[in-house]
Amino acid sequence: MDKRIIFHIDCNSAFLSWEAVHRLQHGHSLDLRTVPSAVGGSVKQRRGIILARSIPAKKLGIRTGQTVFEALSKCPELILVPPDYALYVQCSNALITLLKEYSPLVERYSVDECFMDLSGYGIDGDESVDLAMRIKQRVKEELGFTVNIGISINKLLAKMASEFEKPDKVHTLFPEEMPEKMWPLPVCEMFMVGVRTCLKLYKYGIITIGQLAKTDKELLKVYFKSYGNVLWEYANGIDYSEVRPDRRDIKGIGNSTTTSFDVTDYETAKLFLLSLSEMVGMRLRMENVKAQVICVHLRNSLFHSWSHQHKIPIPTNATNDIYQEACRLFLEMWNGQPLRALGVRTDCLSDGNFTQLSITDQNKFDKISELDKSVDYIRTRYGNDAVKRGVFLHSGVAHINGGVHDDYPMMSSLL
């Protein structure tokens, strides 16, 4: 039986690279990748974090996850561009299309990374490296951005391999290479080990992945319960999960935003709820799913948070349906306190191709669906600002708000 060959393809600084390529294709002379630049929110609106940064920005200490304010404090000349999620959908889809020329088993893991199963094609380790190099070069030449490709016998080790030296590299991490390439690494660099788990491992004297791999499994179960078994298996490179091209395990889709001022009246709050509903509805339709649970989250200026949710009778991905329910939930729980953050979330997702409606509702549903699809098409092709509701004109509120906050079990994804 042939050894499994799994690729993990990870786009380098995806959002920044995709913005740079898009601008160069549309007449810009400056390549954002060659100067200190980043994709993030807005300083004037006092919201947002750094989502991606260029290598020159990285050298100046700019980090992903850092607030925009902190980033500009470190590098005042930093070129900051807002995120364009419709563009990222296009770039991600283009990558998937290219990869499917090599194998039908391509699983989108997040908007900027995916797995590909090449088992059964009769290629060995050396041949897999040659193939990965060719794919990497095609991505660079045809799509304009670079990727790292990790190669191994399972998804876990392939993903670990792709995290080695960047950018534009191919790395292998087969089981026989683990003692040299993976086990000396700090345990915090292992997949599924967060800060709290890392600190707890340090407390027990487990500093490297190799030490974790050699720790008694039963002892880890005492420390971490059932999660201890997962940690031991991952440290030993054990992973039996399949590459699933039809993966549909999104648990929910939601977006939130921090406001640039205290929201003290219902009319202003409605604008933010509508702008969030626009993004959530668009992403539901991109996924071709519908939601039956709508949730609204609020946070006041003292950082106290609370939320309400409701299960609606008929699943929907229509922007107006989400917005109307969000407004109703908002009125149920808002006590008039000044707000600094609002969020809209959808859960209980189902297939977007099927909806049970009465005969009288069908015509209305068809019209709303076609309108939403038309708006999505225009925004995807010409940018999010190509179509906006008149209510946002001169309002001071962005007509689409929120970033990417899907809830996959292990990773967020836009698609």
Residues forming the active site: 113
Residues 408, 378, 400: CA angle, nearest 5 degrees: 55
The span from the CA of 86 to the CA of 383, in Å, is 7
Within 10 A of 268 (CB to CB), how many other CB atoms are there? 17
Nearby residues of 354 by Cβ (< 8 Å), 6 or more positions away: none
Nearby residues of 196 by Cβ (< 8 Å), 6 or more positions away: none
Query: Crossing angle for the helix pair 266-287 and 359-382, nearest 10 degrees?
Result: 90
Residues 396, 401, 404: CA angle, nearest 5 degrees: 160
Single out the residue of 76, 33, 69, 75 nearest to residue 52, CA to CA: 33
Residues 69, 89, 189: CA angle, nearest 5 degrees: 60
CA-based end-to-end distance of the chain: 34
Nearby residues of 77 by Cβ (< 8 Å), 6 or more positions away: 36
Within 10 A of 392 (CB to CB), how many other CB atoms are there? 16
Asked if residues 22 and 87 have their Cβ atoms less than 8 Å apart, the reply is yes
Q: Residue 295 pairs with which residues in a beta bridge? A: 309, 345
Nearby residues of 18 by Cβ (< 8 Å), 6 or more positions away: 11, 87, 88, 91, 145
